[in-house]
Amino acid sequence: MSVYYHKFEVRWSDIDANRHLGNSTYVDYCSQTRMAFLNKNKIGLTQLNRWGVGPVMLHERYSFFKEIYADQTVFVGLEVSALSEDGSIYQFVHKFYLPDGTHCATAEATGVWIDMMLRKTTAPPEDIMEVMNSFKSESVQTISKEYLKTLPFRPENINSDIFK
């Protein structure tokens, strides 16, 4: 089991009106951590394009414990907390830490790998599975498509006439 950490220097533009790290910045930091993780493990855009697959996030949720301010350094961790048997569905846990080890926030992100041509969920190549397996948390769960039905929101289409 390994944890990947990505370092950020908090910029003025990362701060909100309350003078702490803005909510959208947490999302951006998690996304950048995931892409840095993939790049570091030789799963960058070039490889993803060659394989014809891409990661898609379906759901993210956050818990905040301590404020993060401008000019601080923050480390964002990544662990695989859940994975389907074929690897097509995954869940990452991101933990935000100050350099002294203070735990400031946790995010959970659930996603799928998609075939970029078919735009459908697909199992990733073995190279991706090897990396995902090496970053599994100690308490990793096995999930399935049924798990996706338990996510808190479902589509609810409405009559578009209300927009006119």
Is residue 119 over pLDDT 70?
yes
What confidence score (pLDDT) does residue 158 get? 93
Is residue 39 over pLDDT 80?
yes
Q: How confident is the prediction for the chain on average, in pLDDT?
A: 96
Is residue 2 over pLDDT 70?
yes
In a domain, 152, yes or no: no
Mean pLDDT throughout 74-98?
98
Tell how strand 4-9 and strand 53-64 pair up. Answer: unpaired
What confidence score (pLDDT) does residue 49 get? 96
Mean pLDDT throughout 71-100?
98
Number of domains present in the structure of the chain: 1
CATH for 52: 3.10.129.10
| pTM for this prediction | 0.93
In a domain, 35, yes or no: yes
Q: Domain range holding 133?
A: 4-139
Is residue 7 over pLDDT 90?
yes
What confidence score (pLDDT) does residue 124 get? 97
What confidence score (pLDDT) does residue 1 get? 66
Length of the chain: 164
In a domain, 158, yes or no: no
In a domain, 156, yes or no: no
